[in-house]
């Protein structure tokens, strides 16, 4: 999966994910919950820093994740991101 390879490369290089929320949101397609949490945490940081995300698109992406996410830590990250978007 290209998204997983990209995320692993960023992690291995200890480089933060980009500041473009749309680009970061596109990485939510990976199937590894540890990587999903990295993306969710970055999106939360971006929202808290005032970066704009499409609330409708984000709701859709998070709802899709919740259909298969199993780990409580990942669900917690989703909740924190939702709260940040609501302000």
Q: Which residues of 53-66 are buried (b: 16+ CB within 10 A; e: fewer)?
A: beeeebeebbeebe
Q: How many residues does the chain have?
A: 87
Q: Which two tokens stand for residue 48?
A: 């808290």
How high is the pLDDT of residue 83?
95
Structure confidence by residue, pLDDT tens digits, 31-81: 999 999 999 999 999 999 999 999 999 999 999 999 999 999 999 999 999
How high is the pLDDT of residue 73?
98
Q: How many angstroms separate the CA atoms of 7 and 11, rounded?
A: 6
Question: What is the pTM assigned to this prediction?
Answer: 0.91
Q: Which two tokens stand for residue 43?
A: 């999106």
Residue 72 to residues 26, 44, 46, 79, Cα–Cα distance (Å): 22, 17, 22, 10
Q: What is the mean pLDDT of the chain?
A: 92
């Amino acid at each position: 999966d290209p998204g997983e390879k990209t995320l692993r490369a960023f992690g291995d290089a200890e480089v933060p994910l980009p500041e473009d929320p749309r680009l970061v949101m596109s990485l939510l397609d990976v199937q590894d919950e540890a990587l999903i949490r990295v993306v969710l945490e970055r999106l939360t940081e971006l929202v808290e820093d005032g970066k704009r995300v499409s609330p409708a698109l984000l709701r859709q992406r998070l709802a899709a994740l919740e259909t298969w996410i199993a780990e409580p830590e990942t669900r917690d990250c989703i909740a924190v991101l939702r709260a940040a978007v609501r302000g």
